[in-house]
Amino acid sequence: MFQDITIEELLKKRASGEMTTIDVRSPSEYRNASIPGSINIPLFNDEERAEVGTIYKQVGTEQAKTRGLEIASAKLPDFIAQFQKIDGPKTVFCWRGGMRSKTTATVLSLMGVQTYRLVGGVRAYRQWIVEELGQLQLNTPAFVLNGHTGNGKTLMLEKLQQQGYPVIDLEAMAGHRGSVFGGIGLQVNNQKAFDSLLIERLNEIGKAPYILFEAESRRIGKIEVPAFLLDKKEQGVHLWVELPMTERVRHIMEDYRPAEHKEECLSAFQRIKAHIHQPIGVQIEEALHGDQYEQAIALLLEYYYDPKYQYSADKMKDTRRVIIEAGNVDEAVKKIKEHLTTLTNTVQS
């Protein structure tokens, strides 16, 4: 018979690499919010779930169970086979640890597949996340990557994280770049997914001597950044990166691929057009319509984004800002690492 497991027990096993977590809810439920790192093997697809739910509401519980059994029975061999391909212990979960995960765990146990069921399901995990965020205190020093739009800050963070630095990539967690154009070409996450990824990452870096993240506003798209990180941003040392305009335009072209998302770029521009004085706004719009994206980006940077960033920079005390001038991202990363070594030694002493 399968065993029940609490969220605390599950997280300990996952941390040691001993457990695969499997979400048996429908694909749309999984995409909306799940436990990070989990895979999706749905007992019902979205249409089947909707059908069973309709029967439950309009006819009754027993009829819904009967229809659910009919649907599940027809595809059990393939369903079980997917679990058998996964080595080691597995934990299955649904929304509340109810019928779908119980049915799955029972069938798998009968087939000799070692299985746990998460008590309380995703709802219990979400409650744990909320509690963790509510009581979290970061006493670790913060270094904040800052600078003008297009400087490749996200790429720098990616490279640093790959090299083992304690990076918190907030934009990656949000699935959004932060600006009015920020969601173009990305799979935008909701607050639940963001919170889960944030807690997972904070647990991964553990007792690092410092944390490193990009300077963000209170909101990244529709995601709200927790107050403790905003406080850290205000208290931290800002590494202000400056790259040449040509490099910045190139980064934006590579990152946003405006030729592939022309209508989205035009739509986003309309939301800020009124804040750009004429005739520059007209020139930008004409450049976008004419596929002259480098020109449009350069004008946006010079007349809209750079003045906004410069205003923030002028308010910042020089004692909290370190200027890093570089010709490209790789050179900037090298200098950031050198500054982190020096600054960390200074903070620790």
How much is the pLDDT for 5?
94
Q: Is the dihedral of CA 220, 224, 226, 227 positive or negative?
A: positive
Query: Does position 347 have pLDDT exceeding 60, yes or no?
Result: no
Query: Does position 304 have pLDDT exceeding 70, yes or no?
Result: yes
Mean pLDDT (whole number) for 5-26: 90
How much is the pLDDT for 70?
92
Query: Does position 313 have pLDDT exceeding 70, yes or no?
Result: no
Instruction: Read off the tokens for 173.
Output: 């967690």
Mean pLDDT (whole number) for 285-308: 95
Beta strand 3-5 pairing with 115-118: parallel
Beta bridge partners of 92: 22, 117
| Residues of the chain above pLDDT 90, percent | 79
Residue 16: pLDDT band (50, 70, 90) is confident
CATH number of 137-348: 3.40.50.300
Mean pLDDT (whole number) for 242-268: 96
Q: How far apart are CA 82 and CA 193, in angstroms?
A: 25
Instruction: Read off the tokens for 332.
Output: 């900037």
In sequence order, which ranges of 33-169 are alpha helices (DSSP H)? 46-58, 61-74, 76-84, 99-110, 121-135, 153-162
Tell me which amino acid residue 251 is.
H
- Residue from 33, 94, 156, 212 carrying the catalytic annotation: 94
Instruction: Read off the tokens for 53.
Output: 């739910």
Q: How far apart are CA 312 and CA 50, in angstroms?
A: 49
Peptide bond into 141 cis (omega under 30): no
Is 265 catalytic? The answer is: no
How much is the pLDDT for 95?
93
Give me the torsion for CA of 274, 276, 282, 288, rounded to 10°: -100
Query: Does position 272 have pLDDT exceeding 80, yes or no?
Result: yes
Mean pLDDT (whole number) for 303-308: 91
In sequence order, which ranges of 175-244 are alpha helices (DSSP H)? 191-205, 227-235
> Which residues, other chains included, contact 105 with Cβ-Cβ below 8 Å and sequence gap of 6+?
2, 92, 115, 116, 117
CA distances from 203 to 69, 122, 166, 231, 244 (A): 39, 19, 11, 19, 36
Among 120, 124, 117, 101, CA closest to 44: 101
How much is the pLDDT for 314?
66
Residue 343: pLDDT band (50, 70, 90) is confident
**Residue 261: helix, strand or coil by DSSP?**
coil
Could you tell me if 347 and 210 are in contact, meaning their C-beta atoms sit under 8 angstroms apart?
Answer: yes
Tell me which architecture the domain covering 3-131 has in CATH: 3-Layer(aba) Sandwich (3.40)
Query: Does position 349 have pLDDT exceeding 60, yes or no?
Result: no
- Each domain of the chain, given as residue ranges in start order, spans 3-131, 137-348
How much is the pLDDT for 12?
87
Among 135, 133, 136, 155, CA closest to 145: 155
How much is the pLDDT for 310?
74
How much is the pLDDT for 131?
92
Q: How far apart are CA 81 and CA 102, in angstroms?
A: 18
Q: What is the pLDDT of residues 183-216, one digit of tens each?
A: 999 989 999 999 999 999 998 898 899 999 999 9
> Which residues, other chains included, contact 119 with Cβ-Cβ below 8 Å and sequence gap of 6+?
4, 5, 6, 7, 97
Number of residues written out for the chain: 349
Among 147, 201, 149, 152, CA closest to 174: 201
Matching residue, tokens 């997914």 = 193
Higher pLDDT, 232 or 309: 232
